[in-house]
Amino acid sequence: MIGEGFAAVLAAAQDGSEAAFSQLWRDTNPALLRYLRVIAPAAAEDIAADTWVKTLRNLSGFRGDEQAWRAWVFTISRRLVIDERRRKTRKPAIPLSDVPLAALPFSADASDEALERISTKAAMAMLAELPPLQAEVILLRVVAGLETEAVARLVGRSPGAVRVAAHRGLRRLAQIAAEAGVTL
Amino acid sequence: MPNFPWLGRQDASAIEDAALAAMLSGPEVPDDLAAGLQPAADVLAALRARPSGDELAGEAFAMAEFRNRVGVPDQVRRTRPRRRPSLLTSLMSAKVAVAAAAVAITIGGVATAAYAGALPGSAQRLAHDVIGAPAEHSVSHPSGTGTAADRTVIRRHARHHHFRWHGCWTPKSHPRKPGPHPSWTPKPHPSWTPSAHPSWTPKPHASWTPSPRPTPTCTPAPRPTRKPRPHPTGTPGKYRRHHHHRYPGHHPGPVPTGSAAPQPTSSPSPQPSAQG
In tens, the pLDDT along A18-56 reads: 999 999 999 999 999 999 999 999 899 999 999 999 999
Q: Do B24 and A138 make contact, defined as CB atoms within 8 angstroms?
A: yes
Confidence (pLDDT) at B149 = 62
Hey, are the CB atoms on A174 and B55 less than 8 Å from each other? Answer: no
Please give the Cα distance from B127 to B130 (Å, whole number).
5
pTM of the full predicted structure? Answer: 0.50
For the complex shown, is ipTM > 0.85?
A: no
**Whole-angstrom distance, CA of residue A39 vs CA of residue A135:** 8
Q: What digits encode the pLDDT tens for the residues A69-115? A: 999 999 999 999 999 988 887 666 666 666 566 555 554 555 554 45
Q: Taking CB atoms and an 8 Å cutoff, what residues of chain A touch B29?
A: none
Q: What burial letters (b/e) apply to B4-29, b meaning 16+ CB within 10 Å? A: eeeebeeeeeebeeebbbbbbeeeee
Q: Specify the CATH number of the domain A96-184.
A: 1.10.10.10
* Category of B3 on φ-ψ map: left (φ > 0), alpha (ψ -120 to 50) or beta: beta
Per-residue pLDDT tens digits for A133-159: 999 999 999 999 999 999 999 999 999
Q: Where are the domains of chain A?
A: 1-93, 96-184
Is there a contact between A77 and A32 (Cβ–Cβ < 8 Å)? yes
Query: Could you tell me which of B271, B62, B91 has the C-alpha nearest to residue A53?
Result: B62
Is B48's CB within 8 Å of A143's CB? yes
pLDDT confidence of residue A46: 93
Are A18 and B17 within 8 A, CB to CB? no
Mean pLDDT in residue range B167-178: 52
Cα–Cα nearest to B220, from B150, B142, B146, B162:
B162
User: Bigger pLDDT: B217 or B117?
Assistant: B117
Taking alpha carbons only, the member of A106, A175, A150, A69 closest to residue B38 is A175
- B85 to chain A: which residues are within 8 Å by CB? none
For residue A58, the distance in angstroms to the closest alpha carbon of chain B comes to: 9
What string of DSSP letters covers B75-105?
A: HHHHHS---PPPHHHHHHHHHHHHHHHHHHH
CATH class of A1-93: mainly alpha
Question: What is the per-residue pLDDT for B63?
Answer: 92
Per-residue confidence at B258, pLDDT binned at 50, 70, 90?
A: very low
Chain B residues closer than 8 Å to A172 by CB: 3, 5, 7-8
What is the predicted pLDDT for the residue at B132? 82
Give which of B28, B47, B69 to mutate to test A binding, by max A Cβ within 10 Å: B47
Angstrom distance (rounded) from CA A105 to CA A85: 23
